[in-house]
Amino acid sequence: MSQYLFQQLVNGLSLGSLYALVAIGFSMIYGIVRLINFAHGDLVMIGAFSTLAMIAVGVPWPLILVFVLMIGAVAGMLIESVVFRPIRGAPQVTGFIATLAVSIVIQNSALLLLTGQQRNFVFPAFMRQRVPLGGVSASLTDMVIICLTLLLIAILFFIVYRTRLGTAMRATAENLMAARLMGVSVNRTILAAFAIGSALAAVAGVFWGGKFGQIDPLLGFVPGLKAFVACVIGGVGSLGGAMLGGYILGLAEVLFVGLLPQELSGYRDAFVFLLLIVILLVKPSGLFVRHVEDRA
Amino acid sequence: MSKTVPDETPLPIRGFAAAALVAAAAAAAVWLAQASLSDYVVTLLAVLFLNAALAVSLNFTNGFTGLFSLGHPAFMTIGAYVAAILTFPERRKGTMLPGLPEFLATTELSLLPAILIAGAVAAVVALIVGFPVLRLRGHYLAVATLGLIVIIQSLATNWDTITRGGSGLSGIPRLTGIWWAFGFMLVVIAAAWRIKFSSLGRAMMATRENELAAECVGIDTVRVRMLAFVLGAFFAAVAGALLVHLISVVTPRTYSVLLAFNLVVMVVIGGSGSIIGAVIAASAITVLSEALRPVEESVGLYGMSQVIVALALILVLYLRPQGLFGSGEPMIVRRLFGGDRFGQTP
């Protein structure tokens, strides 16, 4: 395999990892409370900026990762309990508008506190070296992103499919009322789903900063939207689907930029949304979900 | 409100007379304002009228028909670019947009045909986009229309020969004034009013409440949804065109997602489907955010007013999720324009 192709592949996989991390949380929250959480992308931003703060203070990297997970989880629980819980019974559109409002509040508060300027975000020097892999090479950052993402996803799947909490989550997603009648503490389960999903998004923020090198308070908008696209590709509400959707989207995007002529690469984001519209048309239940209830 | 409307009242005539009177009174107020107030306030008023018109036009989809669209900025951007290119002085087109095709480079229209063409182009785009997108519901539609904004923005950024890329078009002739804005607002309100209380409006609201039931009584819901979407797009494009002829600049970022959000806030606070509610909410939010701007600048807290608007929205969703007037119109307006009939929340 030529170096160029390999590089594109690694690039697509690491971008896909970012999308997958955000998309899984998105999908989890949707699966349980049927809420498209617009503020989800902003947790990516929160993760990136809290990492920046911790670098400035001098926290060692492994600890930073742990802290970022915690910060994301706390932020997610805060949003859920303050804003979303009181309007849980409201119509879907109300919830959607509320998440938009939360997103605007987070973005503009960040603008207030941090100003809109771009900030440099650097991983330590050893992360930026290239690793030779049998004739080809890849940047260590990309490799770490891919491996850590797989690890986190494995842990997530363990939680969801092998623990009591995960069983409670799946029960609540299946039928909230029935789960409550069976003695599942629904509020706590929902809170946990928000915590886990948001923690994953915050970690994606760390990777995002490391991959692109610059962060600003509005950076969460695009990953939030693309996570939605990834979810739709995989079938909204399905965790495995969201993960695969993320990888497909990342690879497709890189291929689009890498293989098509230079002057089209500005249309990258437009391409992603065209893809969304096409998929919603052709296979609205997603590529990997056989049966979904009404999409209304 | 169970009392039936007496049949002998000549409602339309009384309604028209009242509407004409109100419009005349408002026009007099605008004339007074224009004569006595500073340029800054007059411009602000023009922006306010345009915002009110936008909020009302968003009601076609988001209020009457229950389609949650965020696509307004996309159509406004289309309208703004189309109209700006059409009205741009011919002699300056050569330097500003050297790559323009021949027939565009040699045309220079006055404002009215330009905005009508702008509206028509956006309506055609809405028609084409509507076929796939309107099959979606709820937040799927919302995200798809949000995607439309991204698509249009990247077109505007990358299609250099027509749009001059990211730097946008500047020095657009300042052809719009308060009268254009005011007149346009009246047209939009009148159109919305006529539609809301016609069989088409009832069909829209039936589609919103229960699509299956609407189909069962013979409403072509696909057509109704498409009409609402296309109408909204047309008015959005005209408003976008008028606004850039007021501020004389347009860039791909002039109309952003934030604007879509603010328009939604206006509609939700006014009450989805309420025309007067949308006008009141749009006026209040425009004045409020403009009043907060000096505060923002003196304290250096940019973005504060936006936070306040968003928090206000969340509060409204908690305390009064149906908005100021629900889907109906306020009592006094009902009385004015012809008895009980208009007040009933369908």
Q: Can you give the pLDDT at residue B338?
A: 56
Distances from the Cα of B224 to the Cαs of B45, B55, B63, B175, B215, in angstroms?
A: 33, 20, 13, 35, 11
Residue B11 confidence class, pLDDT cut points 50, 70, 90: low
Domain, as residue range, for B84 = 11-252
Provide the shortest C-alpha distance from residue B148 to chain A (in Å): 7
Average pLDDT (B82-105) is 79
Nearest CB among A83, A104, A280 relative to B306 is that of A104
Nearest to B100 by CA among B153, B190, B161, B143: B161
* CA distance to partner chain B, nearest, from residue A220 (Å): 13
For the beta carbon of residue A221, count every other beta carbon within 10 angstroms.
21
Q: Is the confidence at residue A214, as pLDDT, over 70?
A: yes
CA distance B24 to chain A (A): 37
> Can you give the pLDDT at residue A193?
93
- Residue that has been written with the tokens 């741009």 in this structure: B88
Nearest-10 Cα torsion for A103, A109, A115, A120: -60
Does any CB of chain A come closer than 8 Å to the CB of residue B269?
no
A235 belongs to a structural domain:
yes
For chain A, say whether B131 makes contact (Cβ under 8 Å): no
Q: B120 pLDDT exceeds 90?
A: yes
A287 class by beta-carbon count within 10 Å (0-12 exposed, 13-18 middle, 19+ buried): middle
Joined together, the tokens standing for residue B74 give 């996309």
For A278, B71, B146, B222, the CA distances from B131, given in Å and listed in that order, are 12, 14, 16, 9
Percent of chain B with pLDDT over 70: 92
Cα-based distances in Å from B123 to A195, A230, A281, B92, B186 = 43, 30, 21, 29, 20
Tell me, what's the ipTM? 0.82
| A263 chain-B contacts, CB cut-off 8 A | 158
**Cβ separation of A108 and B268 shorter than 8 Å?**
no
pLDDT (mean) for A155-176: 91
The Cα–Cα gap between A250 and A245 comes to 8
Higher pLDDT, A223 or B344: A223
* Residues on chain A touching B264 (C-beta within 8 angstroms): 97, 100
Q: How confident is the model at residue B230 (pLDDT cuts 50, 70, 90)?
A: very high
Cα–Cα distance, A110 to B316 (Å, whole number): 23
Residue of A nearest to B130 (CA): A277
Whether B161 is in a domain gets the answer: yes
Band (A1; pLDDT cuts 50, 70, 90): low
Count of CA atoms in the C-beta half-sphere (13 A) of B301: 12
Contacts of residue B157 in chain A, CB cutoff 8 Å? 266
Q: Please, which pLDDT band fits residue B234 given cuts at 50, 70 and 90?
A: very high
- Residue B308: HSE in the Cβ half-sphere, 13 Å Cα cutoff: 16
Whole-angstrom CA distances from A56 to A60, A64, A206, A296, B67 are 11, 11, 14, 47, 47
Is B206 part of any domain?
Answer: yes
Q: Where are the strands (E) in chain A, listed by range?
A: 119-120, 130-133, 136-139, 214-215
**Given CB atoms, is A56 within the 8 Å cutoff of chain B?**
no
Residue of B nearest to A262 (CA): B158
User: Range of A264's domain?
Assistant: 3-115+134-282
Least CB–CB distance from A225: residue in B132, B143, B321: B143
Cβ contact A97–B136 (<8 Å) = no
pLDDT at residue number A295: 38
Q: What is the mean pLDDT of chain A?
A: 86
Tokens 């009141």 appear where?
Answer: B280
Residue B343 backbone dihedrals phi, psi, to 5 degrees: -85, -25
**How far is it, in rounded angstroms, from Cα B41 to Cα A292?**
54
The pLDDT score that the predictor gives to residue B10 is: 45
Contact (CB<8Å) A101/B314: yes
Looking at residues A250-262, what average pLDDT do you find? Answer: 83
Give the range among A16-25, B32-41, B221-230 with minimum mean pLDDT: B32-41
Q: Is pLDDT of B9 > 50?
A: no
Distance in Å, alpha carbon of B255 to nearest chain A alpha carbon: 16
Residue at A247 is within a domain: yes
User: Residue A135 CB: number of other CB atoms within 10 A?
Assistant: 9
Distances (CA, A) of A103 to A45, A163, A220, B258, B307: 11, 32, 9, 11, 10
Q: What is the pLDDT of residue B312?
A: 84
Q: Can you give the pLDDT at residue A290? A: 56
Least confident of A28-32, A170-174, A204-208, B320-324: B320-324
Assigned token pair, B102: 């021949």
Residue B31 lies in a domain: yes
Q: Which tokens is A37 given?
A: 């959480």
Going by pLDDT thresholds of 50, 70 and 90, the confidence category of residue B167 is confident
Residue B183 lies in a domain: yes
How many CB atoms neighbour CB A116 within 10 A?
13
What's residue B2's pLDDT? Answer: 45
Asked if the structure places residue A287 within a domain, the reply is no
Whole-number Cα distances in Å, A20 to A203, A227, B213: 12, 7, 40
Q: Give the count of domains, chain A.
A: 1
**How many CB contacts within 8 angstroms connect chain A with chain B?**
122
Q: What angle do CA A71, A77, A83 make, to 5 degrees?
A: 125
Check residue B239 and give its pLDDT: 95
Inter-chain touch B310–A101, beta carbons under 8 Å: yes
Span B259-297, pLDDT tens digits = 998 898 889 888 888 898 999 999 998 998 888 888 877
Contacts of A60 (CB under 8 A, 6+ apart): none
Q: Work out the average pLDDT over B50-66.
A: 92
Highest averaged pLDDT of the listed ranges A81-90, A110-119, A166-175: A166-175
* DSSP track, B314-339: HHHHHH-TTTTTTTS--HHHHHHTTS
The residues facing A137 across adjacent strands are A132
Using an 8 Å CB-CB cutoff, list chain A residues near B308. none
* 8 Å CB contact of B150 and A83: no
Q: Average pLDDT in the B85-101 region?
A: 78
Q: What is the CATH number of the domain that holds A76?
A: 1.10.3470
| Domain assignment of residue B111, yes or no | yes
Task: Report whether B303 contacts B310 (CB < 8 A).
Answer: no
Beta bridge partners of B118: none
The letter for the amino acid at B331 is M
Cβ contacts of B180 within 8 Å, gap of 6 or more: B46, B111, B242, B245
Question: CA-to-CA distance for A102 and B303, rounded, in angstroms?
Answer: 14
Of all residues in chain B, the one with the smallest CA distance to A89 is B318
Lowest mean pLDDT among B22-26, B101-105, B323-327: B101-105
Please give the residue that has the higher pLDDT: either B126 or A285: B126
Helices of type H across A34-134:
40-57, 61-79, 92-114
